[in-house]
Amino acid sequence: MDWRLPLGDWAETAVDVVTAVFGPVFDAIRVVFSGLYEAADWVLATPPFWAVILVIAALGLLLRGWIFGVGTAAGLLVIAGIGQWENAMDTLALVLVAASIAVLFSVPLGILAARSRPASAIIKPILDFMQTMPAFVYLIPALILFRVGVVPGIVATIIFAMAPGVRLTELGIRGVDKEIVEAGSAFGATPGRILRQIQLPLAAPSIFAGINQVIMLSLSMVVIAGMVGAGGLGRDIVQALSRVDVGLGFEAGLSVVILAIILDRLTSSLGNRRRRPPRSNATPASDTTPEIVSPRRQPITLA
């Protein structure tokens, strides 16, 4: 077949045009992302490892109980014992920065998709494209626009991890009983107030599930981030793969697994805490603030 559709040439031309026109914008983004990563890495890597372990274990103890707190401390001690502490903190800093930015974009987009069907019809094909495109493909324009380092890894991670946050936020808000929303409107609540005090609280378990998936997908990108100079555990895994070093690969891979378990359980606990019904308190007779009772028996006060 002699005729060929030049999609690759068009994509290359588009990247060249974007680089030439928006170069200063991408330089500014690179500075901001680098600064956020360095700040997060400084917070995690500067204190002694035992202090960081105590903080994270205390958080696990608070959210899930003493068994998980002890297990968290033991897992982090294993990471420190095999000499992967600094790499693990570099990876954790990258994951936290990328996941936070992805959540900042995905939750508002999910709200927009839930409240506007035309917006949902536009956003869903884009999400499908983002989820099905191989993650390695994102690295090519990211390297051209942001150069080698941690920033291309953060950008690729954000693009790869955003989709579940958008989808589950939209699903949670659309799943709120329409009768509750109509009752809020009957009490004179504005759309913004209904969103803040009715839809978001009831959709919180679904939204937190989306945040959990964003963090897990971000952590799954550490190897790809290591291939573009991001460092951390991904760099060791890439080195182990290139040298067929089973020991180094196992140690780095085990460290990723421990971080993944800790982050998954902590974020899942936040979602589970939102599911717990509030304690019933006696309401004074003089209180005339209307309440709307959801199907989950959680009273929502339009204060």
> How is 57-70 classified by DSSP, letter by letter?
HHHHHHHH-HHHHH
CATH assignment of the domain containing 67: 1.10.3720.10
Q: Provide the number of structural domains found in the chain.
A: 1
- Whether 117 is covered by a domain: the verdict is yes
pLDDT in tens, 138-172: 777 777 777 777 888 888 888 888 888 899 998 88
Please report the sign of the dihedral spanned by the C-alpha atoms of residue 222, residue 125, residue 208, residue 101.
positive
- Whether 271 is covered by a domain: the verdict is yes
How far, in Å, CA of 200 to CA of 208, rounded?
A: 11
- Whether 300 is covered by a domain: the verdict is no
Residue 109 CA: distances (Å) to CA of 100, 129, 191: 14, 16, 17
Instruction: Tell me the H-state helices in 175-245.
Output: 178-186, 191-194, 200-220, 222-227, 233-243
Q: What is the mean pLDDT of residues 72-99?
A: 89
- Whether 301 is covered by a domain: the verdict is no
Burial group, residue 278, by CB count within 10 angstroms (0-12, 13-18, 19+): exposed
- Which residues span the domain enclosing 46? 21-275
Say what the pTM is: 0.80
- Whether 169 is covered by a domain: the verdict is yes
Best-predicted range by mean pLDDT among 6-20, 36-50, 191-205?
36-50
- Whether 294 is covered by a domain: the verdict is no
How far, in Å, CA of 225 to CA of 151, rounded?
A: 9
- Whether 4 is covered by a domain: the verdict is no
How far, in Å, CA of 254 to CA of 81, rounded?
A: 12
